[in-house]
Every structure is written in structure tokens, then in C-alpha cells.
Structure 1
Amino acid sequence: MRRSERKQIDPDLGIMAGQTLFAVQKELFAALAREGHPHLKPRHGAVLAYLDEEGSRATDLSQQSGQHKQVIGTLVDELVELGYVRREPDPQDRRAKLIVPTPLGLDEMERSDAIVAAIERRHAEALGEEVYTVFKRAFRQITDLQRAHPSTSVAGERGVS
């Protein structure tokens, strides 16, 4: 049996996680486009998915998303240009900046949360609430274990301990 056939019959964790991510992103961003946010791309999720309504520091967004701070900076620049966020001084530390959603950003965040909640409800209905709850708990544990692995940390990728 060829490797590609094996991977189709019994996909590994990476393949299943990737397929799930890409399918959810495709549905989410198509729905967002229909609801007035046609310029957003899945890459913007590294900021918007983790952004607090009152604002977040780029370093926190980097840590939560697993993206390098430079990548987050580029995405924030794009989102500023698109009108979704603005940079403001952090009242806790004037040297730092907060990435704060604009009214357009808040609208996207609210719509995105509702769309993802609908996707999750659909899966819970298809599998049954109990099975879906167990699945999410197990998937969360796997995600936490994988993120805790030393070779997956952002600092580990740069060779910094």
C-alpha cells in the first residue's frame, strides 16, 4: 500500500488537525465575507482569535497563537490598514503598546464567535453532546501536551531557552 493511501485510510494527528483547521477556516472566512468582512484571511486569525475586547499586547498574542512576534507585528500592520485594530499605549506599561479592536474589529470578533459556535453545535448534534464533550476534552489535552513539548515552543524554535 502506498503511503498516500495509508494516510487517507488512517491519517495521523497532524493530518487530521490540519484538515480540521483548514475546513473550519474555510467555512468561517466564507461566512465572515458574506457578513461584511471580505478582506480578512485565515492568517489574521493569529491576532483576531486571541484578541481581548479591551486590547492585548503583541507578545501575548504571539504566545497564545504560537506565532513569532514579527509575524504578529506584520499581521497587526495589515489589520490596522484594514481598520480592524489600532495601537494604543498600554496604561500598565507606557513602553508597551496594546492592540485594541476598533468597532469593525469588535463586529468581526462577535460574528466569528457566533459562526464558530454554530460549527461546534453542528458537530455536537452530529456526534451527540457527550461524545463531543469528551472529544473536545481529549483534543484539548493533546493540544496542551503538544504545546508543552520543548521543541514546539516559540523560544525553542529560535534556539532560546
Structure 2
Amino acid sequence: MQDELFARLAEEGHPGLRPQHGAVLGYLDPEGSRATDLAQRSGQHKQVVGKVVDELEALGYVERRPDPHDRRAKLVVPTARGLDQMVRSDAVVEELERRHAETVGHDTYAEFRRVLREVTELQRGWREQG
């Protein structure tokens, strides 16, 4: 799915994005997120998220702004280009999921998603313990 998502995004005006950028863009709130929150949500190390944010900032997808609730912290905030990518990405993922659900059956796909979420949560718990 990831390969198709990024190929489609490239066709729709976002050719510089790569799958690793999803560690930020896939978890970024439209009003902005702290890098530590992005790391936690994505399961990536803070250093990886920092590198990805640097790349996305250079590509014009995000900018860093002071956090209005904590002057010491920074928020990663999507730019207009970043917001456009987020909307397009959501639409592509929705279309892909609909296609897969129609292919294997809606109940089967719903069960697949439930099990995948459960396994992901188990893995996150293991990572936090380790």
C-alpha cells in the first residue's frame, strides 16, 4: 500500500516524498505536533523523526514554530503544501482500503484491520519494555 500511496502522491504533485516521510506526515496534527509526540505515535526514535522533519522542512511540507503552551518546545506544523499532501494522502488511503475491502469482503477486511491493530499494540508494548 505504501508504494502505491507514494506513487500516487508523486502523480498528484508531491514527487519528493519518500515512505520514511510518513513517520512524520502520517502522524502530524493539522495544528502541529511536538517531535516527541510524533516519535511516540510513529514508533520511531526522536533522532529519526528529527532528521525526517529536517527533510520535510527543506521540501516545504512543515515548519517549526514555538509551542504556545511551552516556550521551550517547538511544534512541527504543516505548511499549505503539507496540508495538501495530508488531504490527498487520506483520500488515496481511503480509496485503497475501499478497494481491498471490496476484493476480500468488508467483514474480512475489518477483521484484518482489527488484528493488525492488536498486533501493532503488542509490538509497541514490547518495544517500550525493551
Output the TM-score relative to the length of structure 1. 0.78
The equivalent of 1:41 in structure 2 is: 18
Question: Aligned equivalents of 1:93 and 1:48: distance in 2?
Answer: 23
Of 39, 58, 67, the residue aligned with 2:44 is 67
Cα deviation code 1:24-62 (max 9, x no counterpart): 111011000000000001110000000000000000000
The equivalent of 1:81 in structure 2 is: 58
Q: 1:146: how far off?
A: 1.6
Of 82, 85, 96, the residue aligned with 1:105 is 82
SS, match of residue 46 in structure 1: helix
The equivalent of 2:27 in structure 1 is: 50
Amino acid paired to 1:37: H
Q: 1:127: how far off?
A: 1.1
Higher relative contact order (CA 8 A, sep 6+): 2
From the CA coordinates, give the structure whose radius of gyration is larger: 1
Question: Aligned equivalents of 1:97 and 1:53: distance in 2?
Answer: 15
Output the TM-score relative to the length of structure 2. 0.96
Number of residues of Structure 1 aligned to a counterpart in Structure 2? 130
The equivalent of 2:98 in structure 1 is: 121
Q: 1:126: how far off?
A: 0.6
Question: Aligned equivalents of 1:109 and 1:64: distance in 2?
Answer: 16
SS, match of residue 56 in structure 1: coil
The equivalent of 1:131 in structure 2 is: 108
SS, match of residue 41 in structure 2: helix
The equivalent of 1:144 in structure 2 is: 121
Consecutive aligned runs of 4 or more in structure 1 exceeding 6 Å deviation: none
